[in-house]
Amino acid sequence: DAGVIQSPRHEVTEMGQEVTLRCKPISGHDYLFWYRQTMMRGLELLIYFNNNVPIDDSGMPEDRFSAKMPNASFSTLKIQPSEPRDSAVYFCASGSWSRGGADTQYFGPGTRLTVL
């Protein structure tokens, strides 16, 4: 398996612009997680989905952030409008807790976002 795929790997944008981060989970995984990593706050859970349904979005910092999972093989994290304090590395992870699943989370390589 190719693992969790994220795109783009790097994104540089200007304040006020819309940013869309993309994630393809590992095939067969029924859970998908979005995390953010910064020096100040470390790794934080933003939102997670089970069977394409958002389960907990309490970590989403504010209304400028939104996430969708239209099908089992694709998810997006959108920031509109972006601000410099959104600069971070955003990770997507997937996992499976169904029968025969690995019961753990596999992380993608991340998207490094810089908002100028």
113 forms part of the interface with another protein (CB under 8 A): no
54 forms part of the interface with another protein (CB under 8 A): no
81 forms part of the interface with another protein (CB under 8 A): no
- Which residue's CB is nearer to another protein, number 18 or number 44? 44
- Which residue's CB is nearer to another protein, number 28 or number 109? 109
Instruction: Give the distance, in angstroms, between the CA of residue 105 and the centroid of all CA atoms in the same chain.
Output: 13
25 forms part of the interface with another protein (CB under 8 A): no
Cβ-based neighbours of 67, under 8 Å, separated by 6 or more? 34, 46, 47, 49, 54, 57, 60, 75, 76, 77, 78
Phi, psi of 104 (to 5 degrees): -155, 170
- Which residue's CB is nearer to another protein, number 19 or number 108? 108
Q: Which of 1, 63, 100, 104 binds another protein (CB under 8 A)?
A: 104
Instruction: Give the distance, in angstroms, between the CA of residue 48 and the centroid of all CA atoms in the same chain.
Output: 8
- Which residue's CB is nearer to another protein, number 44 or number 83? 44
21 forms part of the interface with another protein (CB under 8 A): no
Cα angle for residues 103, 69, 74 (degrees, 5° grid): 80
Cβ-based neighbours of 84, under 8 Å, separated by 6 or more? 15, 115, 116
List interacting residues with another protein (CB under 8 A). Answer: 4, 31, 33, 35, 42-45, 48, 50, 56, 58-59, 91, 93, 95, 97, 103-110
